[in-house]
Amino acid sequence: MQRIIFLAFVCLFTSLSLQSQELGDMKFGKGLLNFTAKDSSFSLKFAPRIQFRSETTWNYEDDAFQDADQAFFIRRARLKFDGWALTPKLKYKIELGLSNFDIGGANVYTNNAPRYILDAVLKWNFYQNFELWAGQTKLPGNVERVISSGNLQFIDRSLLNSRFNIDRDIGIQLHHKINLGDDFVIKEKFALSQGEGRNVVVGNIGGLQYTGRLEFLPFGEFLKKGDYFQSDLEREETPKLMMGVVYDFNNDAVKTRSNLGTYMELDNGELYRTDIETWFVDAVFKYRGISFMGEYANRTSGDPLARIPGESTVEYTVLDGEAFNLQAAYLFKNNYEIAARYTNNDYKDYTNVADIEMYTIGASKYILGHKLKLQTDFSYTTLDKNTDNLEWRLGFDFHF
């Protein structure tokens, strides 16, 4: 049934597209379908994408690297729809995930159903530089997370992001921009969300989640929103810098990583609740092919030890700690890029999770920017300062 619905959906929009535009108007990288209704009542762009990955890992055991473990998989396969309705000031975005990585995590709180929906959000520019968002989408957290997974200069995001980010949630957001003089720009982003992550259907379990992000761009805005894609593909002619700070407070959080991680279900059937605070500080710099991104993350909780009141047995711990991520790259004029990254995740002792460091070098060939590219990277990882593994990854991105 799902396949039939999907095929009907594609056929419908294909029909609409052929009525609204000539085939010669289409261009790879601008969407598989891209049109505006004849009466100018709406626009739509349909842009599917896939990411293929190969991973080879050598684990370090008994004072030696073991035989390689190798895997191929589709890391992401997504359908993205966006455009506007009635007026260009009312925008929408719908993004569906089809890979197992995207739809995994079904549980009683998601009605035991695959989590297909990534984004389903309306964005209303209701007054000057004010924009109100409503629906499910990424929270205004660390810059690495808000950057699309299709716009990365490594095979995937860093370990800081995988363990500390605040990801997607459902609620409302307010975005605003201030222009000071000719160049200086300040952007404010605030979110009020449910606090349990995406595709939750049982309502608000704990308290609400409050997120605020401030961005400072002292040298003006990046070309084509370049602070929100990695690599200096636009080769900024003047230095551009974005500095951001984020504070997130999740009241009565019920998961081990704020709105991510494992639900803290106690043996008595109740959910453990505790307040969780997360801080991020990040920066992005670009100039003539040089790009740099730095991030710091810190998570603390009111009482990180989840246990039944009056008992000593700890069933879960909140993943408190801090992390650093630094990465830099240079893009040559032939669109080859070399990059390096260092990540350090330092967890609190009571989490019983080993501190991790990762050193990564990577290379990319941008055939059509981030829309069509080949990438590879090689990483060395330690746990509590002891050698853990080596990993080589290879992949491509293909985005209509």
CATH number for domain 42-399, candidates 3.30.565.10, 3.40.50.620, 2.40.160.10, 3.90.1150.10? 2.40.160.10
DSSP 276-299: EEEEEEEEEEEETTEEEEEEEEEE
Single pTM value for the model:
0.92
Please tell me what DSSP assigns to residue 222.
Answer: P
Q: Parse the chain into domains and list their residue ranges.
A: 1-38, 42-399
- Residue 283 neighbours by CB under 8 Å, 6+ apart: 241, 242, 243, 244, 292, 293, 294
pLDDT tens across 79-125, in order?
999 999 999 999 999 999 999 999 999 999 999 999 999 999 999 99
325 phi, psi to nearest 5 deg: -140, 125
- Kindly compute the dihedral angle of the four CA atoms of residues 304, 307, 308, 311, in this order, to the nearest 10 degrees: -110
Q: Between residues 12 and 254, which one has the greater pLDDT?
A: 254
pLDDT at 22: 47
Contact 317, 304 (CB under 8 A): yes
Enclosing H/E stretch for 8: helix 2-20
pLDDT tens across 16-75, in order?
544 544 445 678 888 888 889 999 999 999 999 999 999 999 999 999 999 999 999 999
pLDDT at 4: 42
